[in-house]
Amino acid sequence: MPNHLVNETSPYLQQHIDNPVDWYPWGDEAFERAKAEDKPIFLSIGYSACHWCHVMAHESFEDEATATIMNEHFVNIKVDREERPDIDNIYMAAVQALTGRGGWPMSVWLLPDGRPFFGGTYFPDKPRYGILSFMQVLQRVAEIYREKRLEIENDAISLTEAISGRLLLDQTESSPPPVEECLAEAVQVLSGNYDRTWGGFGKAPKFPSSMSLELLLAHHHRHGQKHALKMVTHTLDRMAWGGMYDQVGGGFHRYSVDERWLVPHFEKMLYDNAQLIGVYLHAYQVTNEERYRRIVEETVDYVKREMTAPLGGFYSSQDADSEGEEGKYFLWDQDEIRRVLGRSVDAECLLDYWGVLKGANFEGHSILWVPEPPNRVAKRHNISTSKLSAMVSKAKTLLLAERNKRISPHRDEKVLIAWNGLTIKSLAEAARVLDRPDILTMAANAANFILNTMHNQGRLLRSYRSGKARHLAYLKDYAFFIEGLIELYQSTFKIRWLNEALTLTGQMVELFWDDEAGFYDTASDHESLITRPQEVIDGAIPSGTSGAVAVLARMALYTGRSDWLDKANRLIKRSGTAVEKYPNAFMYLLLQAGFILNEPQEVVLVGEPDTPTFKAMHSVIKRHYWPGQIAAFQNSTGCAESILPPILEGRRAVNGKATAYVCQGSECHLPITTPEALLAELQKTTRAGSS
C-alpha cells in the first residue's frame, strides 16, 4: 500500500510512495505521532535529480528489513529540498555542525519537537571505508534514544543553538565594507585559484561558478583588467568544449568531476542553465565573439525543447540516470556515430573533433567533448573553421534525432518561482541583446504563468505541479522573480511588468523584512520552525538577501523610494565584517554593492520605437555591456499609463526627435538626440569606459 506521501505533488516524494518505509511528508501529522509514541524522527532530505539519493533509496528505503527497523523505531519524514529550502537550510546547518560537511541525501535524526541530535549524508547498505551501514546507524540511534535520553536532549539544545548562529547574520551594523577593496580581493582570490590550463577555479570537482565569472566581467568593465577577462573567456571556452556541456542537445550538466570539464555529473539543473545563459551573453557583449552567442542560443533551445511546460513555466531538472545507469542517455560509440552520420558529413573529421577517435573515455563509451581548439582540427583536415562549424551543426541535428529515440532521463516537472525568475531574467536579457522576439515570448509566458497560476489570496506560492500550486513563497522566490520582471520591462518597455515588480517589491519588504535583522528567508507568517532561517552566503544561486539587495537598489531608482535604497545599504553594512573576511562567499552581494557604489546609470529613452533614430539609440543600450545601468522608456507624447514611474517624470522628446536622458547619482546630463552622442556619454560615465 502507498505510504503517506501518496497525495504529494513533488516528483521526488512520489518516487518514494511505494517504499516499504512508512514515509510522512513534513507536517503536523508526523510530529504529533512522534510525540504520542515518544519516537525520534528520521528526516531524509533530497531531490529528484540527485544520483546518490537514488542509490540510498534503492539500497535501503526499498529494502524490507531496513524498512522494518525504520518503521518500528522512528517516525520517518521525507522532504524535497527544492520545495522546502527552509527545512533544508536548517538541517543542513545541523549536519555541517556535526560532521564538518554536508550534501544530499541528507539524513538527520530529530527529537519529536524537531530539534536535531544526530545526522549525516549518505549511509551505505553495508559497512565500507570505515563508515557504518545505514542499518547499524539506525540500531545505534534507537538504542541511544532509549538509554541516553538526557544526553540526547543536551546535544539537541547545543546543536539548535549552533544552527541559529550559523543561519543568522551578525546583527551588528558596522561601517560599510570597503567594497572596491573587497571586489579586488575577490578577484585576487579567483586569480590564485585559476586553472591556467583548463580554466575554472580550484581543483576537481569543478562547478560553473557563474557569479564568479560575472564579477570578473564587471571588474574588467570598471577597471579594464585584461587578466580578469582572460579568466572568463578561457573558462567559458573550456566549459563549452567539455563534456559538461551537452555537445549534442545544448545545455550544461551540473558540474565536472575532473579538472578538464570532461566527465560531468550528468544531472541538468534549470538554475545552472539560467545563470550560464547570462554569463555567455555578457561575454558575447564584451568580446563580440560569435561562439558565445552560439552557446546562448543552443542553451535557450535546450530550455525551450526540454524544460518548458505547456503553460509556459520552466521545469526544475533532469536526472543523471536513465535506465538505471548514470549518463547512459548521453554516451556514444564510434560505430553508432558513423552509422547515424552516414555520408551526410565527414564522420571521421567529427569523430576527431569530439575526441572519439582517441578511444572511450567513460565506462567503455564516449562522452562527446572538444579536446582541442576547433581551428586545429579544421587545419588537420584541410577545411576552414566555418566549414567545420557547419558540419558540426548538421551532425548535432542528426545525433539529436537519434538520441531522442532513447529512453530519456527522468524530468522533475515541478515549477519553482525562484528558478523560473532566474530563467526569465536571462531570457529577457538575451532576447533584448540578440533581437530574438521568440525568446522574449518564452520569458513573458513564464512570467504570466506565475502571475496567473502560482498564487493564493494575493500571495505567491513557491511550487507548481500537476495543476496544484503549493507552499508559501520564500524570499528567493520574490527577489529572483522581481529581477526577472525588471528585465522584462527593460526588454519590452511595457509598464505592466514594472508595475508588477513594484507590487511584489512592496510585498517582499512587508513579509520578509525585519528592522533589526534584515531579510529572513521565510515570511513573518510562516510556520514555526526551530529557528527562522536567514541565508546570506551566495552558493550555487545567489542568497535571498543578495537578490533582495539587487531588487531594492533597482526599484529605488525607478520609483524614487529612498527607504528601499536605505534598506539595501543597511544589508550591505550588516554583512560588512563577513564580506571583508570571505569576499568569495558573497559574489552576488558584492556585485550589487558595486552597482550601488559606482552610481548606476539611469537611461530614459523618449520617442517613437519604430523610428530609425530611436532604434539606433536603443541598440546602443542593448548591444553593449552596461552592468551598472537601468533603462526606461516613454513615447513622445508622454506615458499613457495611469501609474507613471518617477524616473519618467518630465521626460519629453526634444523637437520631436528621439531623445535620451542619462543620469548618474545626483547629476543629470543634457538631453541627447543621436546614437553616437549617447554611446559617448555612456562610455564617459562608466569608470573604465566601454568594453
Instruction: State pLDDT tens for residues 3-22.
Output: 999 999 999 999 999 999 99
Task: For residue 5, count other CB atoms closer than 10 A to its CB.
Answer: 22
The predicted structure's pLDDT at residue 638: 56
The verdict on 423 and 532 lying in the same domain is yes
Query: Which cell numbers in the block locate residue 65?
Result: 528489513
The predicted structure's pLDDT at residue 47: 95
431 pLDDT higher than 50: yes
Mean pLDDT over 82-89 rounds to 96
164 pLDDT higher than 90: no
User: For 657-668, what is each residue's pLDDT tens digit?
Assistant: 999 999 988 788
The verdict on 583 and 436 lying in the same domain is yes
The verdict on 161 and 271 lying in the same domain is no
More confident of the two residues 669 and 443: 443
642 pLDDT higher than 50: no
Q: Which domain holds residue 679?
A: 601-684
Mean pLDDT over 587-596 rounds to 94
Q: What is the DSSP letter of 583?
A: G
The pLDDT > 70 percentage for the chain reads 96
Residue 342 burial (C-beta neighbours within 10 Å; 0-12, 13-18, 19+): exposed
405 forms beta bridges with none
Q: How confident is the model at residue 689 (pLDDT cuts 50, 70, 90)?
A: very low
The predicted structure's pLDDT at residue 173: 54
Q: Which of 270-279, 327-336, 368-377, 638-647 has the lowest mean pLDDT?
A: 638-647
168 pLDDT higher than 80: no
Query: Which cell numbers in the block locate residue 116?
Result: 536535531
The verdict on 303 and 435 lying in the same domain is yes
The predicted structure's pLDDT at residue 170: 56
Residue where a domain terminates, one of 563, 578, 597? 597
Give helix 270-287 / helix 210-223 axis angle, nearest 10°: 20
The verdict on 196 and 257 lying in the same domain is yes
The verdict on 580 and 651 lying in the same domain is no
Q: How confident is the model at residue 688 (pLDDT cuts 50, 70, 90)?
A: very low
The verdict on 158 and 273 lying in the same domain is no
User: For 203-255, what is each residue's pLDDT tens digit?
Assistant: 999 999 999 999 999 999 999 999 999 999 999 999 999 999 999 999 999 99
The predicted structure's pLDDT at residue 166: 64
Instruction: Count the helix, strand and coil residues of the chain and give each as a percent rounded to the nearest 5.
Output: 50, 15, 35
The verdict on 35 and 16 lying in the same domain is yes
Q: Specify the CATH number for the domain of residue 649.
A: 3.40.30
The predicted structure's pLDDT at residue 1: 74
- Domain-located, residue 670: yes
Average pLDDT, the chain: 93
Total structural domains in the chain?
A: 4
129 pLDDT higher than 90: no
The verdict on 442 and 586 lying in the same domain is yes
Q: Specify the CATH number for the domain of residue 48.
A: 3.40.30.10
- Domain-located, residue 174: no
- Domain-located, residue 392: yes
The predicted structure's pLDDT at residue 389: 95
- Domain-located, residue 150: yes
- Domain-located, residue 1: no
- Domain-located, residue 155: yes
66 pLDDT higher than 50: yes
Q: How far is CA 609 from the centre of its chain?
A: 33
Sheet of strand 629-634: strand arrangement:
629-634, 601-606, 659-664, 667-668
Residue where a domain terminates, one of 580, 597, 614? 597
Q: How confident is the model at residue 579 (pLDDT cuts 50, 70, 90)?
A: confident
SS3 state at 241: helix
- Domain-located, residue 340: yes
Q: How confident is the model at residue 567 (pLDDT cuts 50, 70, 90)?
A: very high
581 pLDDT higher than 90: no
The predicted structure's pLDDT at residue 175: 64
174 pLDDT higher than 80: no
541 pLDDT higher than 80: yes
| Alpha-carbon gap, residue 108 to 163, rounded angstroms | 13
Q: Are 579 and 590 in contact (CB under 8 A)?
A: yes
Residues in the chain: 691
The verdict on 614 and 583 lying in the same domain is no
The predicted structure's pLDDT at residue 178: 83
CA angle (251 as vertex; 246, 254 as ends), nearest 5: 85
- Domain-located, residue 672: yes
The verdict on 479 and 547 lying in the same domain is yes
Q: Specify the CATH number for the domain of residue 513.
A: 1.50.10.10
The verdict on 554 and 447 lying in the same domain is yes
| Alpha-carbon gap, residue 549 to 483, rounded angstroms | 10
The pLDDT > 90 percentage for the chain reads 84
The predicted structure's pLDDT at residue 418: 98
Residue where a domain terminates, one of 564, 581, 597? 597
Mean pLDDT over 28-38 rounds to 97
Q: How confident is the model at residue 687 (pLDDT cuts 50, 70, 90)?
A: low
Sheet of strand 268-269: strand arrangement:
268-269, 317-318, 411-412
User: For 175-212, what is each residue's pLDDT tens digit?
Assistant: 667 888 889 999 999 999 999 999 999 999 999 999 99
Amino acid at site 31? F
Q: How confident is the model at residue 690 (pLDDT cuts 50, 70, 90)?
A: very low
